[in-house]
Amino acid sequence: VADPFIAAQHTLTQSNHDTLSSLPLLKMAVHGPFVKIHPVVLASIVDSYERRNEGASRVIGTLLGTIDKHSVEVTNCFSVPHNESEDEVAVDMEFAKNMYELHKKVSPSEVIIGWYATGYDITEHSVLIHEYYSREAQNPIHLTVDTALQSNKMNIRAYVSAQMGVPGKTVGVMFTPLTVKYVYYDTERIGVDLLQRTRASPSRTNGLTSDLAQVGSAAGRIQEMLTTMLSYIEDVLSGKVTADNSVGRYLMDLVNKVPKITAEDFESMLNSNINDLLMVTYLANLTQAQIALNEKLVVL
């Protein structure tokens, strides 16, 4: 395969054992027992799969994020061109390096933490690709996303690799699964909520709600949660429900986080913020109207 592609025979024979022996040992203290994944990562993986080249069975890419003592947080990713057949696999390393350099200029805190592949199972090709990423990151994770929906849902699994075998003899690689958790920023929540509404739409399309509608929806959700909380507290006080100490600790933590402010000051602050929101909405609509009017005048 022409440079900058690399190719390797996928059959795991004795000639591959020296390469596999260079893989790092499993260290759960570094990666922790679970992996946090943001919605934008899953959306990017699905988008790259839908845009894959004709004839490609799957897509692969680099995972970016942060690492702490207890977990890995995957916040971004990008696809990497590759070709694979029954006998060999080729990965565009130069493209992956250039894309990572560009990402570092935008988000210097994000580092390479592993790679992803669409599909349900780990293949023999995955071992060879994982060996490359083991040189780019310590104990890289491997994320699989079942975009084919073989079990009628998108199964998402994360793994880390560990050596197995007799030292100095035949050496292989074992992929150990990790727990996957889904997290999101407040800005990502808007997109997730929109996707949920799109599922219930007959046309499978939906538009963004206005800022005031989002404020109203958020206030409604808070009111529902407060109603549920008050109902639980009343049932505990009346003896209908047995008290749960963990729930009590959460409620105490919630009460302690509420700022100590009078009702008059809170109402004044809320009205001020709503007025600011209305002003921004008005200016945005005014700007949009001026742009549309300018386009009409240009045509005339």
One-letter-per-residue 3-state SS of 120-172: CCCCHHHHHHHHHHHHHCCCCEEEEECCCCCCCCCCEEEEEEEEEECCCCCEE
| pLDDT for residue 112 | 92
Residue 85 belongs to a domain: yes
Omega before 4 cis (within 30°)? yes
| Domain ranges, residue 230 | 210-258
Query: Is residue 14 located within the same domain as residue 138?
Result: yes
pLDDT of residue 62: 93
Pair (237, 133) in one structural domain: no
Tell me: do 149 and 12 sit in the same domain. yes
Regarding whether 46 and 173 lie in a shared domain, the answer is yes
Is there a single domain that holds both residue 287 and residue 154?
no
Do residues 136 and 249 share a domain?
Answer: no
Same-domain pairing of 53 and 21: yes
Is the pLDDT reported for residue 287 higher than 90?
Answer: yes
- Number of domains observed in the structure of the chain: 3
Specify the pLDDT at position 64.
94
Residues 153, 244 within the same domain: no
pLDDT of residue 113: 92
Q: Same structural domain for residues 64 and 144? A: yes
The whole-chain average pLDDT of the chain stands at 79
Per-residue pLDDT, averaged over 64-79, amounts to 87
pLDDT at 171 over 50: yes
Residue 15 lies in a domain: yes
Question: What pLDDT is attached to residue 170?
Answer: 60
Which range among 22-31, 93-102, 187-196, 278-287 shows the weakest confidence by mean pLDDT?
A: 22-31
> 32 and 81, same structural domain?
yes
CATH number of the domain enclosing 179 = 3.40.140.10
Q: Are residues 31 and 77 in the same domain?
A: yes
Pair (158, 248) in one structural domain: no
119-123, 231-235, 249-253: segment of lowest average pLDDT: 119-123
Question: Residue 133 in contact with residue 114, Cβ under 8 Å?
Answer: yes
Task: Say yes or no to pLDDT of 77 above 90.
Answer: yes
Quickly state the pLDDT bin for 20 (edges 50, 70, 90): very low
